[in-house]
């Protein structure tokens, strides 16, 4: 329909791309990315998508090229971007936890604190964040931009690096040790200020944020259904954790009830055998797409 309102949405290209597409799918949006296009298709005719590197996303959102976008909070800080943070979404490339920007040096280095960087060379992609960190600690060092493969630069091309990590495994593999954590970061949904002042666009963004947060909330949880006799009910309830307490309903068979609960997925392997031993029957585990709190 001509004149239909559109929300311009930025999807991060690169390390966050697959996890972002997965999250949107759980939230109910199917996004299809073509290898030859930077404009993915989405099954919502009120949204237009664009693939942009996370490092540039905050700048383009501030400038109004995008109405709303997903990027790391670190890149908002790095670019000093004046945007609205609509929602914080704790996920990264490989997991559902914050990432860290860390100061790292070779295992053999004599650098043991930020103060030891005085007069040294530091390589990083996050030049602004690193300069602010050094200034805060009263240290003068040469900070140079790294185009990639930052872990291989010490000790020959740099004395230290400031690098992003989820688990630290890549740093260890390159014989580096962490000296300090500079900042933690997570994915954020950000908005252009003018777009956020638009009533329709703001409402659309907040609906998207609600669904994304609900999908994240459900990621580590599953549902359990089971049948229990009324005489076994009390002892079964004692071992059941739940988000808001289990839902209990009467069955047509006299003396039996059905229980429905939401639990952490990591608990299930221990919980199911215990429930079975306590008399629960017909135990069914099922996945969850969203939990709206």
Please tell me the predicted confidence (pLDDT) of residue 243: 61
C-alpha distances (whole Å) from 35 to each of 13, 120, 124 are: 11, 42, 29
Please tell me the predicted confidence (pLDDT) of residue 94: 67
Residue 236, pLDDT above cutoff 80: yes
* CA pair distance 1, 147, nearest whole angstrom: 44
C-alpha distances (whole Å) from 142 to each of 118, 149, 213, 242, 277 are: 9, 19, 40, 53, 64
Structure-model confidence comparison of residues 3 and 88, the more confident one: 88
* CA pair distance 61, 242, nearest whole angstrom: 40
* CA pair distance 284, 281, nearest whole angstrom: 9
The three-state secondary structure class of 169 is: helix
pLDDT band (50, 70, 90) for residue 1: very low
pTM over 0.75: yes
Q: pLDDT tens across 170-207, in order?
A: 899 999 999 999 999 999 999 999 999 999 999 999 99
Residue 3, pLDDT above cutoff 70: no
Q: pLDDT tens across 239-260, in order?
A: 998 666 899 999 999 999 999 9
Contacts of 141 (CB under 8 A, 6+ apart): 117, 118, 119, 120, 121, 122, 134
Q: pLDDT tens across 83-104, in order?
A: 999 999 988 766 778 899 999 9
Nearest to 134, CA basis, from 152, 147, 146, 116: 116
Q: SS in 3 state form for 62-124? A: HHCCCCEEEEEHHHHHHCCCCCEEEEEECCCCCCCCCEEEEEEEECCCCCCCHHHHCCCEEEE
């Amino acid at each position: 329909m001509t004149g239909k309102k559109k929300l311009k949405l930025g999807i991060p290209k690169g390390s966050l791309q697959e996890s972002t597409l997965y999250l949107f799918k759980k939230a109910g949006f199917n996004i299809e990315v073509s290898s030859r296009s930077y404009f993915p298709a989405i099954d919502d005719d009120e949204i237009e998508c664009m693939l942009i590197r996370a490092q540039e996303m905050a700048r383009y959102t501030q400038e109004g090229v995008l109405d709303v976008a997903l990027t790391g909070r670190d890149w908002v800080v790095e670019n000093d971007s004046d945007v609205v943070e609509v929602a914080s979404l704790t996920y990264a490339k490989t997991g559902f936890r914050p990432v860290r920007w860390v100061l790292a040096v070779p295992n053999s280095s004599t650098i043991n604190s930020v103060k030891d960087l005085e007069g040294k060379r530091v390589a990083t992609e996050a030049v602004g964040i690193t300069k602010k960190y050094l200034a805060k600690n009263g240290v003068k060092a040469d900070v140079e931009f790294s185009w990639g493969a930052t872990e291989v630069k010490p000790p020959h091309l740099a004395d230290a690096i400031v690098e992003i990590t989820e688990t630290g495994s890549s740093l260890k593999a390159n014989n580096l040790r962490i000296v300090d954590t500079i900042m933690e970061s997570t994915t954020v949904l950000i908005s252009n200020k003018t777009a956020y002042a638009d009533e329709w666009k703001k409402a659309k963004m907040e609906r998207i944020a609600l669904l994304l947060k609900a999908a994240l909330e459900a990621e580590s949880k599953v549902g359990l259904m089971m049948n229990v006799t009324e005489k076994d009910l009390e002892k079964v309830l004692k071992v059941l954790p739940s988000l808001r307490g289990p839902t209990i309903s009467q069955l047509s068979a006299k003396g039996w009830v059905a229980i429905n609960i939401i639990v952490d997925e990591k608990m299930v392997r221990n919980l199911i055998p215990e429930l079975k031993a306590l008399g629960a029957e017909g135990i069914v585990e099922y996945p969850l797409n969203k939990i709206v709190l």
